[in-house]
A and B are shown apart, each in its own frame.
Chain A
């Protein structure tokens, strides 16, 4: 849009929007706002089975969306929704959500499990889920303050083989007890 056109638009307050000939392609905000009905305003989820997207890295979101699109990651709605967007859209959405502040959830968690999880996390998960899960190495998702039910659904999918674990994760998860894994999820959900 040229300055000349912009000046004219500003000056003509009664200008009908539909008179404008061309609109720009959807921006990152336009694409991402549509996700917020399920993932919360700016990607901060209020629904316990839906993950917050706020504060995820661009890489984590792009990786998740590509896997939803290809079917590599199991899904209900996300497989179909991902087919409605291009790889460039995924990058735009990823950048948008990565700029939103990590969403702090307020959920009831088991203090003993949190403590146990805290003692296990650094040695077992800390190489990829860094900063107490506030960040992730490469395309590893942030888990801090994520809803516990969401994390539990994902872990169940991993353990059943529906969702494929990265090799490094599999090495650590396989020998662990279900109680230890659940403690870890409580820990990550508790991190603010």
Chain B
């Protein structure tokens, strides 16, 4: 066992991520033997922060190392409100990790994960190797850019933002909208499901339409949806669009973008139909975060990570758990709240396993809000459990449903949802 929490913090004198990285590199404590009680968590988003915190809350004798490439995290939920002009910057969506260290003794290592050796139980990082007894991956998503002709993973998003990972991409999309002349055309391309945040593209459509209505008269947004219909909360979005954005939103289902030309700002549908835009927001098809793919954790579909529905342990590599958008969580949608619930169940069963106690069946919740106008939101909720016969996570009958209508009270609750879930992740 290495340092206990109090000594560790004292040693670092405030425990900044950089100091920790230095510690990991020089002290060798993270690359040596684990003492049998070390969990490494990769990814400091909706899943990873919660897994790290709850393991420590449940058993402070377990050492937890959270590895994250950035010193902060920007929430995708609510980032559409920034794009629509309802927030002046991303600070309400940004969390830091220092209180997870101060309050719970989570060791935060700011480093890029470069590989995983599942047999040796080692994570390779830009700051050296980190050994583990159990590994939790919460890597989020990456893009199947190879499925879009002309898309260069590095350069294309610099002019054609996806803005599907919050941060600089989100800021770029808003700047492009602000710079667009009145009467311009925005093109939003939605990939085939499953993708991160099923209602997200339609909330984005609403927020961009709201921005255009207020600031760019005679502009419109063309939505090219690869899916046959709106994937989530369809009735509510259609109602909201009719109420607020008639003539602004041109929604086109079953239009799969297969090619992009960044030079003349054009996308091509199924190789035959060109659509040009002044601003193009192309959300590519998705798969589990790169590190999970590289570690061989994706299943036969080559995209998502199959896991045990009780423990979230990979069915491919023992000792590695995958939570959040990257895993196959049965009926649970790829949402921030799902990741939060999955992280807690995963933490519970890792702690119980390490302590030789019995496993506990999964019980989780999803609650997901979408804004349609500046003051109206809608939501979808559900309670989820394990169906033992199917060995899969299912929705508890009667618990899944959406708001009866657009409402201001849902928007008020949505604001508190954000406040609570980000506070949970960062304190």
Across the interface, which residues of A come within 8 angstroms of B420, CB to CB?
A: 36-40, 45-47, 50
A31 nearest in chain B by CB position: B363
Q: Which of A18, A23, A37 contacts B313, CB < 8 Å?
A: A18
A42 nearest in chain B by CB position: B57
Question: Least Cβ distance of B64 to chain A in Å?
Answer: 16
Is B7's beta carbon under 8 Å from chain A? Answer: no
Q: Is A10 touching B54 in the complex (CB atoms < 8 A)?
A: no
With A26-B363, A34-B363, A49-B415 known, 14 other A-B pairs at CB within 8 A are A1-B357, A7-B356, A14-B318, A16-B318, A20-B359, A23-B349, A30-B344, A38-B416, A40-B424, A45-B420, A46-B423, A47-B423, A84-B399, A153-B412
Across the interface, which residues of B come within 8 angstroms of A38, CB to CB?
A: 367, 416-417, 420-421
Determine, out of B10-18, B142-150, B379-387, the stretch whose residues face the partner at the interface: B379-387
CA distance A149 to B415 in the complex (A): 12
Task: Known contacts A38-B420, A46-B419; decide if A33 and B409 are in contact (CB<8 Å).
Answer: no
- Within 57-103 of A, Cβ neighbours of B (below 8 Å) are at 76-77, 80-81, 83-85
| Interface, chain A (partner B; CB < 8 A) | 1, 6-7, 9-10, 13-18, 20, 22-27, 29-31, 33-41, 45-50, 76-77, 80-81, 83-85, 149, 153
CA distance A7 to B355 in the complex (A): 10
B318 nearest in chain A by CB position: A16
Interface size on B, residues (CB 8 A): 60
- Within 345-364 of B, Cβ neighbours of A (below 8 Å) are at 345, 348-350, 353, 356-364
Task: Known contacts A77-B367, A81-B399; decide if A30 and B360 are in contact (CB<8 Å).
Answer: yes
Across the interface, which residues of B come within 8 angstroms of A25, CB to CB?
A: 360-361
Is B311's beta carbon under 8 Å from chain A? Answer: yes
Q: Is A23 touching B310 in the complex (CB atoms < 8 A)?
A: yes
Interface of A (DSSP majority class): loop
Is B300's beta carbon under 8 Å from chain A? Answer: no
Interface centre among B357, B407, B413 (most CB of A within 10 A): B413
B424 nearest in chain A by CB position: A41
| 15 residue pairs bridging A and B, Cβ less than 8 Å apart | A1-B358, A6-B356, A16-B318, A22-B359, A33-B348, A34-B363, A35-B365, A37-B337, A37-B417, A47-B416, A47-B419, A49-B413, A50-B417, A80-B398, A80-B399
- Within 289-316 of B, Cβ neighbours of A (below 8 Å) are at 308, 310-311, 313, 315
Q: Which of A13, A40, A84 contacts B398, CB < 8 Å?
A: A84
Question: Least Cβ distance of B427 to chain A in Å?
Answer: 8
Across the interface, which residues of A come within 8 angstroms of B315, CB to CB?
A: 18
CA distance A6 to B385 in the complex (A): 25
Interface of B (DSSP majority class): mixed
A89 nearest in chain B by CB position: B363
* A-B residue pair count with CB separations less than 8 angstroms: 158
Q: Is B424 touching A37 in the complex (CB atoms < 8 A)?
A: yes
Question: Least Cβ distance of A97 to chain B in Å?
Answer: 15
CA distance A122 to B70 in the complex (A): 53
Q: Is A80 touching B400 in the complex (CB atoms < 8 A)?
A: yes
Interface centre among A35, A37, A41 (most CB of B within 10 A): A37
Q: Is A47 touching B403 in the complex (CB atoms < 8 A)?
A: no
Q: Is B358 touching A23 in the complex (CB atoms < 8 A)?
A: yes
Q: Is A37 touching B421 in the complex (CB atoms < 8 A)?
A: yes
B422 nearest in chain A by CB position: A46
Q: Is B344 touching A76 in the complex (CB atoms < 8 A)?
A: no
CA distance A50 to B410 in the complex (A): 12
Across the interface, which residues of A come within 8 angstroms of B341, CB to CB?
A: 33-34, 37
- Contact string against A for B residues 237-268, beta-carbon threshold 8 Å, 1 for contact and 0 otherwise: 00000000000000000000000000000000
Across the interface, which residues of A come within 8 angstroms of B112, CB to CB?
A: none
Question: Least Cβ distance of B410 to chain A in Å?
Answer: 6
Q: Is A15 touching B353 in the complex (CB atoms < 8 A)?
A: yes
Q: Which of B348, B353, B357, B400 contacts A30, CB < 8 Å?
A: B348
- Contact string against A for B residues 196-207, beta-carbon threshold 8 Å, 1 for contact and 0 otherwise: 000000000000
CA distance A46 to B57 in the complex (A): 19
